[in-house]
Structure 1
């Protein structure tokens, strides 16, 4: 990719996408943690600990090439996003719980993502490879994730009418941006593309399936209703691949690290649709009394 596009356009475009996420959040989304702490704690633990561990195990078992392994770990460390809210709505999940988890994940990821990526780089890449998230780059990650989200929330708080008008165009922009960055990542690595797909296709498919399954069945094991477990499944199972690819290309300067997220983006919609359809068929919801009410 062109250097100007990498250094200027990609971070700016991602900032717009993250600001769009902020447009859909309010401070009430954080306050609702007190209403259903059990579901939220289980979902966050699943995403931050269990899924990162699953991604690590997949990397080791399938012996992924180092840069692709780091890319998969970067994807695992990335939070969910607005797409999870959409799937939760389509497949009868607790959308308000999704919104709460999205808000928390956006904040937590700014701190956990650099730590997980640095660990992955130190573990998978050979000594002497000068790539990683130094303090300056950690601040960049923090700025790319948090500041635009906060700006979006401020616009919603002080100018709700403007926020409402911006939501749809920003969502459309997010979809277009995701498609363009996938194409860009695949084209930049087209010489090795088939080899990458052979190496990382199974890994990303397994990770996607594991994310959705753990996101649903673990909360159910702890007595969380199917209504809320669906929200957890989509929040945990649908990672922000746009964020992962942009960080790989801009902060880590590696289009190869973006390949797992690019491949995952294709699998994600297919598996999430199949998973939601199976839930509706074999685990129908009979009661929804435990929903988190959205007070906006």
Structure 2
């Protein structure tokens, strides 16, 4: 089990590299990965089941002890990123399928990787976990509603069908994970450290499926999508940080909100795009999966290093 834990930690630390490698292979050898496409919802369901296994009542204590902070985080999550996506799609006159894909990324809840990045940034990890958990539980209602409101300008949207999809691939697996944890607590505690490996394998497979199915369109529009995804993500970090500042949150909370807003559950975006729109609409989510882990790591390292330097200065002065 310890060997598996080490592999899991290594996979989590090198996640962005694996996504890049497999995305490259899927682009140049699409026939080797295109078969994964039909399994995208199942793969995401497994990842969400893992999230359910890691959740506990302690994760929701922050909701009750600091409800204002959690509310600000969730509101920022579901306002800033969708509106940014819509504005970028309109201003840059994106093709319909790409516009919908970008809005899909914006309308998704925060990803669990944001919790890791917040921890590394020396931010308020408890707040980050609470915002991720609440935004994820609200996603069956808010994600389809936002897509209907903002994306129907480009393509037809069935909010009802999307609601059912999100319930199936997000809510049901999380609830099952919680039930399994309650029934088999000791066994789950022993195996939970292997979950990062499962998540990495799942996201890498989803990215490979999306890239292999859209090779030709990526070759045509790849630069535009890359530019939009990077801009969307960086603006999310910036506006998330200033949202925390606006409401006079402390610096640790500001960092948590910034990272929480900027990092999305792009796996969900890819699954919904594939199921309800087209493989091309899933490409922004696939690229976001790679980029936000790179940018999040850089931002977390910068903030974490800054705190360490400040602590050293205080120690010297003392």
The TM tier, using the shorter chain, reads: 0.7 to 0.9
Classify the secondary structure of the residue corresponding to 2:276: coil
The reply on whether 1:50 has 2:80 as its aligned counterpart is yes
Which residue in 2 is equivalent to 1:210? Answer: 235
Which residue in 1 is equivalent to 2:271? Answer: 246
For residues 56 and 108 of structure 1, the distance between their equivalents in structure 2, rounded to whole angstroms, comes to 21
Q: Aligned pair in 2 of structure 1 residues 83, 176: CA closer, same or farther (>3 Å)?
A: same
Which residue in 1 is equivalent to 2:295? Answer: 271
The reply on whether 1:170 has 2:195 as its aligned counterpart is yes
For residues 136 and 202 of structure 1, the distance between their equivalents in structure 2, rounded to whole angstroms, comes to 30
Which residue in 2 is equivalent to 1:128? Answer: none
Which residue in 2 is equivalent to 1:290? Answer: none
For the 8 Å contact 1:155–1:162, the answer to whether it is kept is no
Matches within 5 A, 1:38-117: 38-117=68-147
Q: Scaled by the length of structure 1, what TM-score is found?
A: 0.86
For residues 100 and 71 of structure 1, the distance between their equivalents in structure 2, rounded to whole angstroms, comes to 26
For the 8 Å contact 2:217–2:280, the answer to whether it is kept is no
Q: 1:256 aligns with which of 280, 297, 314?
A: 280
For residues 210 and 199 of structure 2, the distance between their equivalents in structure 1, rounded to whole angstroms, comes to 16
Corresponding pairs, count: 280
For residues 307 and 92 of structure 2, the distance between their equivalents in structure 1, rounded to whole angstroms, comes to 32
For the 8 Å contact 2:144–2:160, the answer to whether it is kept is no
Q: Which moved more, 1:52-61 or 1:182-191?
A: 182-191
Shift of 1:74: 0.6
Indicate the RMSD between aligned Cα atoms, in angstroms: 2.3
For the 8 Å contact 2:108–2:268, the answer to whether it is kept is yes
The reply on whether 1:181 has 2:206 as its aligned counterpart is yes
Shift of 1:150: 1.0
Q: 1:119 aligns with which of 121, 127, 149?
A: 149
Q: Which moved more, 1:66-75 or 1:261-270?
A: 261-270
For residues 159 and 214 of structure 1, the distance between their equivalents in structure 2, rounded to whole angstroms, comes to 41
Consecutive unaligned residues in structure 1, runs of 5 or more: 126-130, 288-296
Shift of 1:163: 2.0
For the 8 Å contact 2:128–2:257, the answer to whether it is kept is yes
The reply on whether 1:35 has 2:59 as its aligned counterpart is no
The reply on whether 1:16 has 2:38 as its aligned counterpart is no
Shift of 1:122: 1.6
Cα distance per residue 1:4-50 (max 9 Å; x no partner):
8544x222221110011111112343343121122112111111112
Cα distance per residue 1:52-79 (max 9 Å; x no partner):
1111111111111111110011101111
